[in-house]
């Protein structure tokens, strides 16, 4: 069988490349060994944000009395939360599969191998392709010594299959995945402890964002240890005696139950007791041989592991658009959202930039919404924005305004001429810009 384009991997990188190639009339075969939509749709972005929505509603309902809404006896039906997550994912997947079929791309649901730069082999068949795109993605990276078992020691894939909420969890890593799960589970009243090897939470963020996240974690009673590594995890049948040095005062597991208890030894010498451990400390590109002439896009490219980056790479590969690799937004979901783009303050030489910080609590809309926590921080040089860091409700949307300005070199002075609607969080962008020249 002959095709203009052969794509291995049906995640955001692969399916975007397929749609684009079909738009320009190319014949396309796409191989997917598991589920169309890849990690993003089936085990990443979409399922986590769906569960997060339930967690946020639960927390809002518990705290709604101050808004004049008495919601008594608010309970979590975790089975339903997870069933809804499955429904959302499967609905989107069906639509995506249908759209791919309608586009005229041939979908082969098989494991595929690249033989050479023009040949793919799958289920014993040979596919000759003028061009090959490899978009096989990444997988969780859990150090072998921690004996990942999917039951007590979990990856970000396993946690999506939880049947019941644990009483307690230790999360290794405070990047996007670790922080989002810490927020989800603490909203569901799980006792959460985050262990981060770097000296700050969310180490890839601007240092002031990390500091504010520490405050948010404290308010939400999410415990955390920075500059700390997990050294060892022991699965024990019974809890440690009462004088153990676990930091949690309350019982973490039912002593009468048969459920084992995990003892997590930290590099600080402390031992934590917990029901489960989630490893959220990194993902690695799926193993592959680099073959000359084949294009590697998305997570497997080993660059930025984000769905929107994968999509942009696919569009670029199709020859349709240019994009700027240094203007890829990062977003951490939960309440309040966190987003950033461009330079961080710690990357810049003192005196080489201007900085403006505007508190979200100064915005009328934040009081209307009872979401006053956060700030908008913009860094500029020579009248142009070089970085922005936002903690706020709607931060995921706000950051786009900044990216549009940065990508088009719109000067700060010109941006100030834009009329921002009232009352909105966007007004915070305007107010922040007003302190810059
Ligand atoms: C918990 C979690 C939350 C996330 N949240 C976000 C978020 O909010 N925003 C964001 O931008 N990103 C998020 N990500 C990252 C995002 O999911 C990835 O960056 C994105 O899925 C990468 O897309 P991809 O197409 O490169 O690879 P993938 O989505 O991994 O797709 C690769 C596909 O290739 C298939 N495949 C692999 N090998 C073969 C083979 N030999 N033959 C056939 N098929 C094969 C796989 O089965 C898979 O379906 C999250 C990730 C996780 C784990």
329 lines ligand 1 (CB under 6 A): no
pLDDT, residue 238, reads 64
12 lines ligand 1 (CB under 6 A): yes
281 lines ligand 1 (CB under 6 A): no
pLDDT interval class at 241 (50, 70, 90): low
With a cut of 70, say whether residue 78 has pLDDT above it: yes
33 lines ligand 1 (CB under 6 A): yes
pLDDT, residue 247, reads 45
Q: Which long-range contacts (CB under 8 A, 24 or more apart) does 211-216 make?
A: 212/374, 212/375, 212/391, 213/174, 213/179, 213/338, 213/391, 216/336, 216/373, 216/391
298 lines ligand 1 (CB under 6 A): yes
Distance in Å, CA 7 to ligand 1 centroid: 14
Task: Count CB neighbours of 146 within 10 A.
Answer: 16
pLDDT, residue 259, reads 76
pLDDT, residue 239, reads 58
Q: Which atom of ligand 1 is nearest to the CA of 333?
A: 8
Give, using CA atoms, the residue closest to atom 5 of ligand 1. 45
- CA distances 38 to 18, 32, 41, 102, Å, are 14, 8, 6, 19
Please tell me the distance from the alpha carbon of residue 119 to that of residue 89, in angstroms, as a whole number.
Answer: 32
108 lines ligand 1 (CB under 6 A): no
pLDDT, residue 356, reads 98
Give, using CA atoms, the residue closest to atom 7 of ligand 1. 45
178 lines ligand 1 (CB under 6 A): no
Distance in Å, CA 172 to ligand 1 centroid: 20
Ligand 1 pocket mutation, candidates 6, 37, 45, criterion most atoms within 8 A of CB: 45
- The model's pLDDT over 88-129, given as tens digits with 9 standing for 90+, comes to 999 999 999 999 999 999 999 999 999 999 999 999 999 999
* Across 315-335, average pLDDT: 92
pLDDT interval class at 153 (50, 70, 90): very high
Q: Which atom of ligand 1 is nearest to the CA of 111?
A: 42
With a cut of 50, say whether residue 243 has pLDDT above it: no
Least confident of 251-265, 290-304, 344-358, 394-408: 251-265
139 lines ligand 1 (CB under 6 A): no
Q: pTM of this prediction?
A: 0.94
Give, using CA atoms, the residue closest to atom 21 of ligand 1. 40
Structural domains in the chain?
Answer: 2-138+284-319 (3.50.50.60), 144-279 (3.50.50.60), 328-434 (3.30.390.30)
28 lines ligand 1 (CB under 6 A): no
Please tell me the distance from the alpha carbon of residue 317 to that of residue 16, in angstroms, as a whole number.
Answer: 10
Please tell me the distance from the alpha carbon of residue 374 to that of residue 212, in angstroms, as a whole number.
Answer: 8
Please tell me the distance from the alpha carbon of residue 171 to that of residue 424, in angstroms, as a whole number.
Answer: 35
Q: For residue 155, what are its two tokens?
A: 């990856």
* Across 164-189, average pLDDT: 98
pLDDT interval class at 245 (50, 70, 90): very low
Percent over 90 (pLDDT), the chain: 92
pLDDT, residue 244, reads 45
* Across 216-236, average pLDDT: 97
With a cut of 70, say whether residue 61 has pLDDT above it: yes
With a cut of 80, say whether residue 359 has pLDDT above it: yes
Beta-strand (E) ranges in 62-190? 106-108, 112-116, 119-122, 125-134, 138-140, 153-154, 168-172
């Amino acid at each position: 069988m002959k095709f203009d384009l052969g794509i291995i991997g049906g995640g955001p990188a692969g399916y975007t490349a397929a749609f684009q190639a079909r738009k320009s009339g190319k014949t396309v075969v796409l191989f997917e060994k598991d589920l169309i939509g890849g990690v993003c749709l089936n085990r990443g972005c979409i399922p986590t944000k769906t569960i997060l929505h339930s967690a946020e509603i639960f927390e809002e309902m518990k705290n709604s009395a101050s808004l004049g809404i008495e919601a008594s006896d608010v309970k979590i039906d975790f089975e339903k939360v997870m069933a809804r997550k499955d429904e959302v994912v499967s609905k989107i997947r069906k639509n995506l599969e249908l759209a791919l079929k309608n586009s005229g791309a041939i979908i082969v649901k098989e494991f595929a191998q690249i033989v050479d730069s023009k040949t793919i082999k799958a289920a014993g068949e040979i596919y000759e392709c003028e061009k090959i795109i490899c978009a096989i993605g990444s997988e969780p990276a859990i150090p072998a010594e921690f004996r990942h078992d999917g039951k007590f020691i979990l990856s970000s894939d396993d946690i999506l299959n939880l049947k019941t909420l644990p009483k307690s969890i230790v999360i290794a890593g405070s990047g996007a995945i670790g922080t989002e799960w810490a927020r989800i589970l603490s909203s569901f009243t799980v006792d959460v402890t985050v262990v981060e090897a770097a000296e700050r939470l969310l180490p890839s963020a601007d240092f002031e964002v990390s500091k504010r996240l520490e405050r948010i974690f404290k308010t939400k009673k999410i415990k955390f240890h920075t500059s700390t590594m997990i050294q060892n995890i022991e699965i024990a049948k019974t809890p440690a005696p009462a004088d153990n040095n676990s930091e949690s005062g309350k019982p973490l597991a039912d002593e009468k139950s048969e459920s084992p208890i995990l003892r997590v030894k930290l590099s600080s010498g402390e031992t934590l007791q917990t029901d489960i451990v989630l490893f959220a400390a990194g993902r690695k590109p799926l193993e592959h041989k680099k073959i000359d002439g084949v294009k590697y896009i998305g997570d497997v490219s080993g660059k930025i592991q984000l769905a929107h980056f994968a999509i942009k790479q696919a569009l670029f590969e199709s020859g349709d658009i240019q994009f700027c690799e240094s203007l890829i937004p990062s977003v951490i979901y939960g309440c309040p959202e966190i987003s950033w783009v461009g330079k961080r303050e710690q990357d810049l030489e003192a005196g080489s930039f201007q900085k403006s910080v505007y508190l979200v609590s100064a915005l009328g809309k934040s009081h209307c919404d009872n979401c006053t926590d956060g700030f908008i921080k913009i860094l500029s040089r020579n009248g142009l924005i070089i970085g922005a860091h936002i903690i706020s409700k709607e931060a995921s949307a706000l950051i786009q305004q900044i990216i549009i300005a940065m990508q088009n070199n719109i000067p700060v002075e010109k941006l100030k001429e834009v009329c921002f609607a009232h009352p909105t969080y966007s007004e915070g962008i305007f107010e922040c810009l007003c302190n810059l020249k």
